[in-house]
Copies of this chain bind each other. A is one copy, B any other.
Amino acid sequence: MVAGPGKRRLEIELIEDRARRHTTFTKRRQGLIKKTKVFANKFDAQAAVIAFSGAGNLFAFGSPSVESVVRRYLDTASGGGGAEEEEERPQTPEERIGAALEKGSWDAVVEGLGPLEIDELSTEIMKLRRVVAARVSEMEARD
């Protein structure tokens, strides 16, 4: 099927799939922001969510404002965290993987990592696998 109705049909499918994905993304983004809003209200706490879509668009909400929460985070994060409550720790950037892809040495990358970072890396691997799998089936669908 080089051209004609078949190709057209596939393109429509892709577009609709993308639209569906976008709809879901929007709903969940709204849900996430609502949760944050309620959370901040209920406990009179400062809270903020920041999200970037795959396309790079920014969505954020903060109480009293994203700016203030971010600022406070930057002030606090360096000094030291919570006293009696445990804190979710920051995670390792996935750029490691990109760099490693170019170098070709996984061993060197994994060697220095701690438990949390390993966990993070595992998560990223699973994400990458899903994305690759999706891409593969997408290409197979074209044949």
Instruction: Return the chain B residue nearest A40 by Cβ.
Output: B51
Is A36 a contact partner of B61 (Cβ separation < 8 A)? no
Interface size class of A (residues with CB under 8 A): 35 or more
Residues of A contacting B: mostly = helix
Closest CB of chain B to A70's CB: distance in Å?
A: 6
Residues of A within 8 A of B (CB): 13, 18, 21-22, 24-26, 28-29, 31-33, 35-36, 39-70, 72-74, 76-77, 79-95, 97-98, 100-111, 113, 115, 118, 120-125, 127-129, 131-132, 134-136, 139
Q: List 19 A-B residue pairs with CB atoms under 8 Å apart, sorted by A's residue number.
A: A26-B85, A44-B54, A44-B131, A45-B54, A47-B51, A50-B69, A53-B86, A57-B82, A58-B76, A59-B82, A59-B88, A60-B73, A60-B82, A66-B90, A98-B98, A106-B124, A107-B131, A110-B135, A122-B136
